[in-house]
Structure 1
Amino acid sequence: MNLINKLSFIFLWLFLFTGCKAEFENGVSDIDSWDMADEFEPTMVHPGVLHTNEDCEHIRQMIEEKKEPYYATYQELIKEPKASAEYSIQGPFEIIARDGTYASTKGKAESDFDAIYLNAVMWMITQDPAHAQKSLELMLAYAGKLKDIDGNDTALMAGLEGIKIVYALEMLKYTYDVMTEEQFTQVSDMLKRVFLPVWEEFYEVTPYTNGNWGMNVLKSYLAASILWNDTEMYKKCVNLYMYGNDNGTIAHYIDGETGQCQESGRDQAHVILGLGAMATVCEIAWKQGNDLYSVFNNRAMLGYEYTVMYNLGYDVPFKTWTDVTGKYCEWTEISQETKKKNNGVDVDRGMKWQPCFYMMYNHYVNRKGLSMPYTTELLGIYQELEYDGGHPSYGPLLFNDLK
C-alpha cells in the first residue's frame, strides 16, 4: 500500500469509523416519516432516462473525433451481437421468469431485452434507422404477447429488465419520428400491465429482500415516471430512495460512517449490483435537475469507495449489520467471494468486476471535482469494455465526462 493510500485508509478509519453498525435500528427510524420529495421537482426533459440530447451529441462527437477512451469502447460495443440490427429475437413469451416453472425463458428473454436497450443505444450513437427499427420491432413483439412475470424473483426481474425497455421507448419516442403514437402506446401499455404492478407491489409489502432488489426495482420505477411524465410517481421514487423502509434505499444500504454496505457480508457481486443500480437512480435524477448523488453527505460515493477499496485488496472495517428485514444479520465478516462464476469457478474478491463505475466516477470526480482514490485506481486497471445486462455498461463511452 503506497503512502497516499495508507493516509486515505487512516483517515477513513479515524474520522469515519466509530464502530460500524446499521444506522437505523432494526430498519426503523424517524427518517422514515420525513417527506422532502416536494423539494425534488423534475424538469421532465426528454429524452431524459440516463441520456439527454446534449449527452447524445457529446458521445457522437467523441466517436467522430476518435477520442479515447470513447472510441475504443465503441469498437467493443459494436462487436456485441445483441447490439446488432441483425439480432434474431429469442422470444417473445407470454410469461417470463428467472426461476420456477418458466425459468427456461430467463436467458432468452433477457437477451431480447438487452437487444432492445443496446439497439436503442446504437441508434442514439449512429442514427442508423436499422437500429431504431430493430429495437422497436422487439418491443412490439413483447407488447403483443407478454402477459406476466412469474417466479420467486419476480420483483428482481421486473427491476433488472424493465429499465431496458423504458430507456429504449423513451429514446425512440423523442428521437425516432417513424415510431407512431399507436406503437408507443402498445409498448407503454405492456409496461403498465406487466411491469408497473410488480414495481409498486414491491414497495407496498413488508420488506423481505436484500437491498440490491430494491435498488433495481427503483431504477426502473423512476425511469418509467419520466417516460410517462408522472411527477407524483417521480417524487414517490425520491421518497423511497431517501426515506423508504427497505434494504434497497440509500439510508439502509450504505452505512454513513464507513461505507459498509448491507450485503458486504454476503458477497461482492451482489453489493456491486446494488451500487450500480444506485448510480443509475442518481444519474436519472440528475438528468431531471435533481441531485440524489449528494444526499446524506455523498453517501453513495462512500459506499463505492469502501467496496472498491476492499476489492482492490485493502483492509476495511466491518461489523455485523442489522438489516431492515431482520433476516440478513448473520454475516460476521466481510465476504471474500464474489459468487459470480468465471468459466465455471467461483472467483475471489476483485476478480470479477462489473461495468458500473464510470457513472459514479464521472459525477463525483469530473462534475464535482471530488476525490475517489480507490475508484480512480480501479479504473486504471479495469476499463469496462464488456456488456453486463445488470448495468447500462460501456461507461468510458456512455457515461464519461457527461454534464
Structure 2
Amino acid sequence: MNLINKLSFIFLWLFLFTGCKAEFENGVSDIDSWDMADEFEPTMVHPGVLHTNEDCEHIRQMIEEQKEPYYTTYQELIKEPKASAEYSIQGPFEIIARDGTYANTKGKAESDFDAIYLNAVMWMITQDPAHAQRSLELMLAYAEVLKDIDGNDTALMAGLEGIKIVYALEMLSHTYDKISETDIQKVNDMLRNVFLPVWEEFYNTNPYTNGNWGLHVTKSYMAAAILWDDVDMYKKCVNFYLYGNDNGTISHYIDGDTGQCQESGRDQQHTILGLGALSAICELAWKQGNDLYSAYENRVLLGYEYTVKYNLGYDVPFKTWTDVTGKYCKWDVISKETKDKNGGVDTERGNCWQPVFYMVYNHYVNRKGLSMPYTAELLGTYQELEYDGGHPSYGPLLFNDLK
C-alpha cells in the first residue's frame, strides 16, 4: 500500500469512528448531510410497518389452529373496547396536546388513535371489513379537522401517536380494496402537514430531552418513511439512530459495558418506555431487510437484560450518567421508587412492566439463537395480555415466532 493509499485509509477510519462526534460537537444533528447509512438500503416491502403479509398469514394460522400463547392473547385483544368496530370516536380535535391549553384533548385523542391502530390490527387478523372501515373512518375524521399539535410535549406526542396512524394507513392501503386514493391522500396530507413538521423540528433542534423522546420520534419517522417509500427519509433516521448526538440514540441510551440505560436513574417506567421504542425501530428496519438489532454488538439486548434483571430483584452495577444534554446527570442511584400523584412513594421496581418484551425476545432468541435468560425468566410469568398505548402490545400474538 503506497503512502497516499495509507493516508486515505487512515482518514476513512478516523471519519467512521470519530467523525460522528465531530459532526455533532455543537449538539445539532445535521443528519441530512450524512451518507453513513448508505449500506442500509430498505426493500420497501408493503405492508412493511411492523408486519408483512407473511407475518399476517402466520398470525391468522396460529389463531385458526388455536395455538398458544397466540389464541389466549387474541381473546384478550378482542375484549379491548378500542379494538371494536363499534368504537365511538371521542374527537376529532383541531389541536391536540399532552399538556397546556389543550391538555383536555390528550386522553380522548390518544384513545381515538389507539382505536385506529387496533382496528387495523383486527382487520389484519380477521379480514372483517367492519374493522378496516372503522379504522379508516377514524383516520378520515381527524384528517378533515386536525391542524396542529400543541404544548411542551409536541415531539413526544407526535412520536407516540404518529406510528398508530401510519401502521393503519400502511396496512389498509395495501390490503383493503375499499380504501380510495382520495382517502389515502387525505390521511397522508394530515401526516405530512401535522406530524412530519414536529418530527423534523425535533431532529433540527439541539438535544434537550431524555432519550425516550428521540426514540419514539424515530420510530414514527421510520414508519412514515416506509409508508411513503422515501429511502432518503429512512436513511436519515437510521443515521440518527446509529450516529446522532441525542439521548435517544442506541449508543447514548444504553451503556455498552453494562446495559445501564440513560433513564435508569430516573425511573423504570420511562426506561422501559424507551426500550420498547428501541425494539420497534429495530423491528421496522428488520422488515425492510436491515439489521439494527445487532448494532453496537447487540446493544438493545444488553439494555433489556440489564433492566429486566434489576426489576426481577437482582443486583446490577450503576454509575452516574453523563447525558448528552447535561441536564440529566444527577441521578446517583438506580431508581426503585417514584412519587405518585398524591406525593406518596410507590415502589416501582418490579411493578413497572409494559408489553415490550416478546418482540425483542423473538428476535434475539427465536431468530438468532442468542440467550436472554432474565427476559426468559420474566416471560415465564408476565404474558403481555394487556394493551398499552405507548407500544404495539399483545406480543404473544403479534410478535411471536415471526421470521
- When normalised by structure 2's length, the TM-score is 0.91
Residues 156 and 217, structure 1, Cα contact 8 Å, conserved in 2: yes
| Unaligned 5+ runs, structure 2 | 1-16, 25-30
Residues 213 and 248, structure 1, Cα contact 8 Å, conserved in 2: yes
1:144 match: secondary structure: helix
Partner of 1:170: 170
Give, in whole Å, the separation in 2 of the partners of 1:188 and 1:337.
42
1:390 match: secondary structure: coil
Give, in whole Å, the separation in 2 of the partners of 1:338 and 1:290.
38
Give, in whole Å, the separation in 2 of the partners of 1:36 and 1:402.
29
Residues 139 and 165, structure 1, Cα contact 8 Å, conserved in 2: yes
Residues 311 and 350, structure 1, Cα contact 8 Å, conserved in 2: yes
1:255 match: secondary structure: coil
Partner of 2:77: 77
The aligned runs of 1:107-256 (5 Å cut-off) are 107-256=107-256
The aligned runs of 1:345-356 (5 Å cut-off) are 346-356=346-356
Partner of 1:332: 332
Give, in whole Å, the separation in 1 of the partners of 2:233 and 2:267.
32
2:96 match: secondary structure: strand
Residues 258 and 302, structure 2, Cα contact 8 Å, conserved in 1: yes
Partner of 1:29: 21
Call closer, same or farther: CA 1:187–1:399 in 2, change over 3 Å.
same
Partner of 2:285: 285
How far apart are residue 355 of structure 1 and its match?
A: 0.3
How far apart are residue 351 of structure 1 and its match?
A: 1.1
- CA deviations on 1:164-191 (whole Å, 9 max, x unpaired) are 0000000000000100000000000000
2:346 match: secondary structure: strand
- CA deviations on 1:334-387 (whole Å, 9 max, x unpaired) are 001366789x97342111210000000000000000000000000001000000
The aligned runs of 1:357-368 (5 Å cut-off) are 357-368=357-368
Residues 266 and 331, structure 1, Cα contact 8 Å, conserved in 2: yes
- CA deviations on 1:2-32 (whole Å, 9 max, x unpaired) are xxxxxxxxxxxxxxxxxxxxxx99xx83586
Call closer, same or farther: CA 1:340–1:217 in 2, change over 3 Å.
farther
- CA deviations on 1:200-230 (whole Å, 9 max, x unpaired) are 1101010000000000000000000000000
Give, in whole Å, the separation in 1 of the partners of 2:40 and 2:23.
17
Call closer, same or farther: CA 1:345–1:66 in 2, change over 3 Å.
farther
Matched letter for residue 126 of structure 1: T
Residues 209 and 247, structure 1, Cα contact 8 Å, conserved in 2: yes
2:324 match: secondary structure: coil
Give, in whole Å, the separation in 1 of the partners of 2:276 and 2:37.
23
Percent of counterpart pairs with the same letter? 82
1:149 match: secondary structure: strand
Call closer, same or farther: CA 1:338–1:400 in 2, change over 3 Å.
farther
1:394 and 2:394 matched:
yes
RMSD, aligned α-carbons: 1.8
Moved more, 51-60 or 348-357: 348-357
Residues 265 and 333, structure 1, Cα contact 8 Å, conserved in 2: yes
How far apart are residue 322 of structure 1 and its match?
A: 0.4
Partner of 1:38: 38
Give, in whole Å, the separation in 2 of the partners of 1:340 and 1:226.
39
Partner of 1:12: none
Give, in whole Å, the separation in 1 of the partners of 2:50 and 2:22.
32
Give, in whole Å, the separation in 1 of the partners of 2:284 and 2:335.
30
Residues 256 and 299, structure 1, Cα contact 8 Å, conserved in 2: yes
1:61 and 2:61 matched:
yes
- CA deviations on 1:282-328 (whole Å, 9 max, x unpaired) are 00000000000000000000000000000000000000000000000
Residues 215 and 278, structure 1, Cα contact 8 Å, conserved in 2: yes
Give, in whole Å, the separation in 1 of the partners of 2:105 and 2:347.
27
Matched letter for residue 29 of structure 1: K
Partner of 1:272: 272
Give, in whole Å, the separation in 1 of the partners of 2:332 and 2:210.
16
Partner of 1:86: 86
Residues 285 and 292, structure 1, Cα contact 8 Å, conserved in 2: yes
Give, in whole Å, the separation in 1 of the partners of 2:138 and 2:341.
29
Partner of 2:106: 106
Matched letter for residue 291 of structure 1: D
Give, in whole Å, the separation in 1 of the partners of 2:301 and 2:22.
24
How far apart are residue 94 of structure 1 and its match?
A: 0.2
Call closer, same or farther: CA 1:298–1:338 in 2, change over 3 Å.
farther
| Unaligned 5+ runs, structure 1 | 1-23
Give, in whole Å, the separation in 2 of the partners of 1:31 and 1:334.
32
Partner of 2:384: 384
Matched letter for residue 128 of structure 1: D
The alignment covers a number of residue pairs equal to: 377
- CA deviations on 1:207-261 (whole Å, 9 max, x unpaired) are 0000000000000000000000000000001000000110000010000000000
